[in-house]
Amino acid sequence: MRKIGVLTSGGDSPGMNAAIRAVVRKAIFHGLEVVGVRRGFAGLIAGDFMPMQLGSVADIIHRGGTVLRTARAPEFLARESQEKAVRNLRDQGIDALVVIGGDGSFRGASVLGSYGIHTVGVPGTIDNDIPCTDNSIGFDTAVNNVTDAINKVRDTATSHERVYVIEVMGRNSGHIALAAGLAGGAESILVPEVPYNLNEICERLERGVKRGKLHSIILVAEGAGSALEVGEALKKKTNMETRVTILGHLQRGGTPTAYDRMLASRLGAAAVDTLLEGCYGKMVGLESGKVKVTSFDEVFRQKKEFPEDLYKLATILAI
Ligand code: F6P
């Protein structure tokens, strides 16, 4: 192996830059050449490549987003586009590719594998819905962003004695909602993994008011429903003054936490090691503090476990 490529794909996540930096610097340390692919699989199809040197990744470890930019590229599903991408990689003399992204990106990497392109995946998504790793890059930063938002909403919620319903991202998973809800002391957390009953949530709100609570915060994972609808229903049922805040893409931006930078640095470097060891079609993850390499097929077979115990704890503590 002489030359490797690196790309970021799907929704950006804070820490992707630290991962790119680790891939580039670890590869150069081992005497490899590195080429960056701009705009993920879309750039692969278009042949949008840039040579990467040590200096190309200087001053990016602390920046959110991705300097390689990213895209969702449904066009990659077409065989013609896949063949074009493979041709472009071969023309560049790229022997292997590190793909930083989520499940969809790994499926793309796996397709490249079927054409004989060696790929390794690095989990980068705020949703934390990738199995075989405790956390994906960006999750910790997103949770901190949401916790910070809850703190701010709490100030105004207390002042006005209101109920706030806050909608957070996560696609079909409730990991962000659970972690931020626990850290932010939310009264109720609605996630797609656990069925909920609006009447129970109302009873909880009413009990809180009787105990002298000045505000309540309900966190709704986008996969569990719409905060606007939940807010409307709670208002109707309890007659309490209710406001809705949808955090949206604010959650995905900003400087990555130290945890995400460390995770990204370790996983980016581990991806290069994995390629150098001649292992392909795999994802590198971190479990209980140790790097773990798992085949894409195994990652696709498993479902990320939802920490039910933490969910129960959050419910007990918000009693
Ligand atoms: O997968 C990351 C994520 O931020 C999800 O939480 C969210 O549902 C989705 O991406 C939003 O996608 P887009 O940025 O394309 O609107």
Write the pLDDT tens digit of every residue in 283-315. Answer: 999 999 999 999 999 999 999 999 999 999 999
Set 12, 127, 140, 260: catalytic member = 127
Please tell me the distance between residue 169's alpha carbon and the centre of ligand 1 in angstroms: 7
Residue nearest ligand 1's atom 12 by CA: 11
**Based on the domain organization, do 89 and 155 belong to the same domain?**
no
Asked if residue 34 is part of any domain, the answer here is: yes
CA–CA dist 85, 76 (Å, integer): 9
**Based on the domain organization, do 222 and 287 belong to the same domain?**
no
User: Given ligand 1 and candidates 169, 178, 251, 252, which is best to mutate, with the most ligand atoms within 8 Å of its CB?
Assistant: 169
pLDDT confidence of residue 239: 95
**Based on the domain organization, do 217 and 202 belong to the same domain?**
yes
**Based on the domain organization, do 127 and 147 belong to the same domain?**
no
* Counted domains in the chain: 2
Residue nearest ligand 1's atom 3 by CA: 11
Please tell me the distance between residue 127's alpha carbon and the centre of ligand 1 in angstroms: 8
Q: Which whole number is the average pLDDT over 115-133? A: 98
Q: Which whole number is the average pLDDT over 232-250? A: 97
Q: From the CB of residue 290, how many other CB atoms can be counted at a distance below 10 Å?
A: 9
Decide which of 253, 270, 290 is a domain's last residue: 253
**Based on the domain organization, do 162 and 220 belong to the same domain?**
yes
Asked if residue 314 is part of any domain, the answer here is: no
Please tell me the distance between residue 171's alpha carbon and the centre of ligand 1 in angstroms: 7
CA–CA dist 191, 125 (Å, integer): 18
**Based on the domain organization, do 168 and 262 belong to the same domain?**
no
CA–CA dist 213, 216 (Å, integer): 7
Residue that the structure tokens 């706030």 belong to: 164
Domain that holds residue 165: 141-253
**Based on the domain organization, do 125 and 267 belong to the same domain?**
yes
**DSSP codes of every residue in 119-162:** EEEEEB-TT---SSSS--BTHHHHHHHHHHHHHHHHHHHHHHT-
Q: State the pLDDT confidence band at 110, using cuts at 50, 70 and 90.
A: very high
Nearest alpha-carbon partner for 300 in 130, 157, 153, 159: 130
pLDDT confidence of residue 109: 98
Q: Is 103 a catalytic residue?
A: no
Asked if residue 16 is part of any domain, the answer here is: yes
Q: From the CB of residue 210, how many other CB atoms can be counted at a distance below 10 Å?
A: 8
Asked if residue 203 is part of any domain, the answer here is: yes
CA–CA dist 112, 86 (Å, integer): 7
Q: State the pLDDT confidence band at 86, using cuts at 50, 70 and 90.
A: very high
**Based on the domain organization, do 244 and 266 belong to the same domain?**
no
Task: Show the ligand 1 pocket: residues with CB < 6 angstroms.
Answer: 11, 102, 125-127, 169-171, 222, 252
Q: Which atom of ligand 1 lies closest to the CA of 171?
A: 8
- Look over the chain and give the mean of its residue pLDDT values, rounded to a whole number: 97
Residues 294 and 132: beta-carbon distance below 8 Å: yes
Q: What is the pTM of this model?
A: 0.98
The three-class DSSP label of residue 168 is: strand
Q: Is the pLDDT of residue 3 over 90?
A: yes
Asked if residue 193 is part of any domain, the answer here is: yes
**DSSP codes of every residue in 197-250:** -HHHHHHHHHHHHHTT---EEEEEEGGG--HHHHHHHHHHHH---EEEEE-GGG
**Based on the domain organization, do 22 and 164 belong to the same domain?**
no
pLDDT confidence of residue 168: 98
Asked if residue 175 is part of any domain, the answer here is: yes
Nearest alpha-carbon partner for 26 in 279, 272, 290, 261: 272
Q: State the pLDDT confidence band at 135, using cuts at 50, 70 and 90.
A: very high
**CATH code of the domain in which 110 resides:** 3.40.50.450
Q: Which whole number is the average pLDDT over 24-32? A: 98
Q: At what angle do helices 227-238 and 198-210 cross, to 10 degrees?
A: 60
Q: Which whole number is the average pLDDT over 118-125? A: 98
Residue nearest ligand 1's atom 9 by CA: 171
Please tell me the distance between residue 149's alpha carbon and the centre of ligand 1 in angstroms: 18
**Based on the domain organization, do 225 and 93 belong to the same domain?**
no
**CATH code of the domain in which 209 resides:** 3.40.50.460
CA–CA dist 292, 315 (Å, integer): 32
CA–CA dist 213, 203 (Å, integer): 13
| Residue 70 backbone zone (phi > 0: left; psi -120 to 50: alpha; other: beta) | beta
Q: Which atom of ligand 1 lies closest to the CA of 176?
A: 6
Residue nearest ligand 1's atom 6 by CA: 170
**Based on the domain organization, do 159 and 106 belong to the same domain?**
no
Q: State the pLDDT confidence band at 319, using cuts at 50, 70 and 90.
A: confident
**Based on the domain organization, do 124 and 220 belong to the same domain?**
no
